[in-house]
Each structure stands twice: as C-alpha cells, then as structure tokens.
Amino acid sequence: MDAILFLVFAFIAVACGINVVLQRHPINSALSLIGVMGSLAVLYLLLGGEFIAAAQIIVYAGAVMVLFLFVIMLLNAGRERTQTVPWVVRLLGPPALILFVSALGVIAYRLLPYRDLVRFGGFTRGGAADVGRPLLTTYVLPFEVTTVAILVAIVGAVLLARKEGGE
C-alpha cells in the first residue's frame, strides 16, 4: 500500500514537473506546479509530516501559486516569444542532467541501506503541536528573524510594485 501510494504520487509529481519545464505558456506551468505541490503534500503525509503537509497546501498551493496566477493574468503573459537555446546547451544539457541525477541517485543508494524502509505511521511527531513547540523554544530566534524577513519582503514588494509618481 505504501509503495503503491508512493509510486502513484511520485509519478504524478515527476510528470507535472516535466510539464512545468516543457510548457511554453506560464499558466500551464503554474497549474502543473500546483500538481507537483499537491502530490508532494501526500508524500509528506506518508512521511508523517501532518503539519508540513497542511502548510504545503495552504502556503504553497494556496498563497504562492495564487500570487503567481494573479501576476500571470495581470501581465497577460502569453507564450514565450524567443526560444533560442544555444547548440552547446542542446548538446551538453541532457547528458549533464542525466549524469547529475544518476550521480546523486547512486550517492543516495550508497549512503542509505536498502532496508531503511519508510512506513506510514513510523513517525508520529509531525503534528502541529510537535512542530510548534520547538519552533517557539529551540528555534525562536530564527523564527523571529523570519518574521522580520517577511516584513521586509512585504514592504519591498509594495515599494517595487507601486505606481511611480502616484500618491
């Protein structure tokens, strides 16, 4: 059952990921990216991360992607006009990509024994309370710094997107 769920959602994630890269129109890429994020949320649940799965859906698939779709529609961005991939990239890109993936895959298989099995329910400390307590005790300083970073980002976004000269 675990293997079936993993394979189904991993397949969806990879297919949507390929679609993100290959689609010419930003809207299609954005909708495929929502598919990737949704299937990753299911995989987080399989790994016992209930809070992080909910945050994935709310923050990523909800807030960030709505922002993306909003900007795509605001700019009325169509298909990419220029598509000039240099021949060096065409020639060396796919082999380099395959080499990179296989090298990291081999490292993953070497470092982690095959018997390290992930079972649903094997990690039960991923709930909101279990994540929230260390977040506000051990990691309270990074947490507060993050809030400042968010504030700076909001002010910067408003400043950048504001109409010049309009009061």
Partner 1 sequence: MNGVPLAWYLTLSVILFSLGAAGFLIRRSLLTMLMCVELMLNAVNLSFVAFAYRLQQVDGHIFAFFVMVIAAAEAAVGLAIVLALFRYRAAVEADEVGMLRL
The amino acid sitting at 76 is N
Which residues have CB under 8 Å from 49's CB, separation 6+? 123, 126
**Per rule CB under 8 A, is residue 55 in the interface with partner 1?**
yes
**Per rule CB under 8 A, is residue 8 in the interface with partner 1?**
no
Question: Residue 86 has which token pair?
Answer: 């240099």
**Per rule CB under 8 A, is residue 91 in the interface with partner 1?**
no
Own/partner pairs, 12-21, CB within 8 angstroms, 24+ separation: 12/36, 12/39, 13/39, 13/40, 13/43
Shortest distance (Å) from residue 167 CB to partner 1: 17
CA 11-14-16 angle, to 5 degrees, is 105
Shortest distance (Å) from residue 153 CB to partner 1: 4
**Per rule CB under 8 A, is residue 157 in the interface with partner 1?**
yes
**Per rule CB under 8 A, is residue 42 in the interface with partner 1?**
no
Binds partner 1 (CB under 8 A): choice among 75, 88, 92, 165: 75
Give how far Cα 10 sits from Cα of 7, 58, 102, 139, Å. Answer: 5, 20, 17, 31
Binds partner 1 (CB under 8 A): choice among 74, 165, 166, 167: 74
**Per rule CB under 8 A, is residue 35 in the interface with partner 1?**
no
Binds partner 1 (CB under 8 A): choice among 8, 91, 92, 105: 105
In angstroms, rounded to a whole number, what is the distance separating the alpha carbons of residues 73 and 158? 18
**Per rule CB under 8 A, is residue 101 in the interface with partner 1?**
yes
Question: Residue 26 has which token pair?
Answer: 């930003």
In angstroms, rounded to a whole number, what is the distance separating the alpha carbons of residues 43 and 37? 10
Q: Which of residues 126-145 bind partner 1 (CB under 8 A)?
A: 126, 130-131, 134-135, 139, 142
The amino acid sitting at 102 is S
**Per rule CB under 8 A, is residue 52 in the interface with partner 1?**
yes
**Per rule CB under 8 A, is residue 146 in the interface with partner 1?**
yes
Shortest distance (Å) from residue 68 CB to partner 1: 6
